Structure 1
């Protein structure tokens, strides 16, 4: 690694660093991160900060006894996020001597291509004016259907949108271990990861922090998203100031996930790693999307069945009848119409549909799945 080659980085900071005692924000662990950001900016490196912690920061302002059921708990957590977000931004502002800006996102913003491009433009413009973007999920308004769920994966999506060179994920341990270091003191740190496979995922346990929502698994998921876009990813111990000193000295303080030499194309990466399938189109086991040219990518006769409820323009999964995933695709038709076509036993209807209608799939938005 050579930090001097970095032009733009994304740093992800979790709730345990923001509000370690759930008693409001604390700058105890944030000062070393803020100093690192300042030094990076001094080296001419643009920095984007993805910061969790709004719920943890605001929780001390609420009497949890008022939440008597799960639904009420969700409502109270949204209120905690609204109150805590202001405190969190104020805490960061106190640590910087330059301006910052707040961006609150939901997954709906990221999976819509127009809004995704708008996010990229906003980040780029802020950085061009030496303003630090501070990004968090909009926990005050988001729903289960619209949320990313953890800021590890959000940071990877942001790093991709920003075309970052490196993603630094701050954890409460030094990096990825072969075993859980909290249970085995002899567990070995994995310093370098060149390929993320099932063996790497097998090393990941659950969340180790009582405050945050992400564990090591979500950090590996984030790394997988980032490295496929050509972004080197580091998991480091955010509680240790020396982690950032090592980075500034071109030393790896934790686990380095190496970026792919041939990054995935931007549009394909967005389809694969940012969008969510709203339903499924089921085709025969003999069908292979790679064998079809763009003019007849999916014919009515190829369609066996439709799963889910989706609208025209939604992203869906193209899947074989045996369960194999073929691709994420954008459909030009709703599930209602495609159900009618798939369920029809009349060959004339299928032929007429193919002749008179637009293609079932939008050929501009296709991401083949890895076998």
Structure 2
């Protein structure tokens, strides 16, 4: 059973007070890696890796849950937009996962960091939870970054998570993470949100996810994305009820003062997005 250390506490305070290595799950959406287009923008991936490297240098353990396999495979298959047929999606994922992982390996190598690919379906959480947890712990022991994605090349409706927001929440719970940071092209949860400009009144902190919060969720029409705000709210519900706080932040934004992305902002300096407080267990 997890302790109640997160209950009604500010995440920044908890990170400062702890002397142990804190395990953070960072989820990077396709919208961050593609900028809303049909292929990965290498500069965006490089920026994420650069800041994760700095994050790890600061003493934190990071598990990365990444989207982008299908988007990476579209151009190879000559596709200009995300297909709708399952077989086409699976083919794009099969081709694109290799490309995506190669890019992560090359970028992490610049910082002398190693990473390992883990592809998952729901079955892995039903039948192989102990083995998966052992793998994550062993990778951490050897200072290897777990790079996790859903196994889209073989997933069908019965064993799919639906999107990586939900997957990242289940990974955070399984790994007994100290926090879940979900990065997208939107800087948090907003009231009066305008999808065209992606602006509105930011809700800085959510103590409880109720019907009002759920009604604020809205989707995205990016061609290579499947997750919208509703799936992020659902991921926050899964995590917070297990005692894990969640931050939604903009993964495209840079802090020019200290050259930190929202990964650094959220954990080292301030909460640059929406913080969902951990609930009681």
- TM-score, normalized by length of structure 1? 0.65
Q: Does the 8 Å CA contact 1:18/1:57 hold for their aligned counterparts?
A: no
Matched, 1:254 2:273: yes
Change (3 A) 1:28 1:184: closer
Q: Which has the larger radius of gyration?
A: 1
Structure 1 partner of 2:8:
none
- In the TM superposition, what are the counterparts of 1:273-352 in structure 2 within 5 Å? none
Q: Unaligned regions of 5+ residues in structure 2, if any?
A: 1-10, 256-261
Matched, 1:118 2:137: no
Q: Unaligned regions of 5+ residues in structure 1, if any?
A: 264-371
Partner of residue 22 from structure 1, selected from 38, 46, 50: 38
Q: Does the 8 Å CA contact 2:34/2:44 hold for their aligned counterparts?
A: no
Structure 2 partner of 1:107:
122
Structure 2 partner of 1:326:
none
Q: Secondary structure at the match of 1:177?
A: strand
1:7-31 alpha-carbon deviations (Å, 9 max, x no partner): 10000011122234323x3222223
Change (3 A) 1:205 1:117: same
Aligned counterparts of 1:45 and 1:245: Cα–Cα separation in 2: 11
Structure 2 partner of 1:320:
none
Aligned counterparts of 2:198 and 2:100: Cα–Cα separation in 1: 34
Aligned counterparts of 1:123 and 1:13: Cα–Cα separation in 2: 18
Structure 1 partner of 2:3:
none
Structure 2 partner of 1:327:
none
Matched, 1:87 2:99: yes
Structure with more relative contact order (C-alpha pairs < 8 Å, separation 6 or more): 2
Aligned counterparts of 2:268 and 2:133: Cα–Cα separation in 1: 30
Deviation at 1:210, TM superposition (A): 2.7
- In the TM superposition, what are the counterparts of 1:199-218 in structure 2 within 5 Å? 199-218=212-231
Q: Secondary structure at the match of 1:219?
A: helix
- In the TM superposition, what are the counterparts of 1:164-175 in structure 2 within 5 Å? 164-175=177-188
Structure 2 partner of 1:156:
169
Aligned counterparts of 1:116 and 1:198: Cα–Cα separation in 2: 32
Structure 1 partner of 2:155:
142
Structure 1 consecutive aligned stretches of length 4 or more whose deviation exceeds 3 Å = 3-6, 183-186
1:82-115 alpha-carbon deviations (Å, 9 max, x no partner): 1100110111112212110000001111123xx0
Deviates more, 1:11-20 or 1:86-95: 11-20
Aligned counterparts of 1:122 and 1:245: Cα–Cα separation in 2: 26
Change (3 A) 1:76 1:258: same
Structure 1 partner of 2:209:
196
Partner of residue 8 from structure 1, selected from 5, 23, 27: 23
Change (3 A) 1:121 1:251: same
Aligned counterparts of 2:75 and 2:47: Cα–Cα separation in 1: 25
Deviates more, 1:34-43 or 1:159-168: 34-43
Q: Does the 8 Å CA contact 1:172/1:209 hold for their aligned counterparts?
A: no
Aligned counterparts of 1:231 and 1:28: Cα–Cα separation in 2: 31
Aligned counterparts of 2:190 and 2:38: Cα–Cα separation in 1: 27
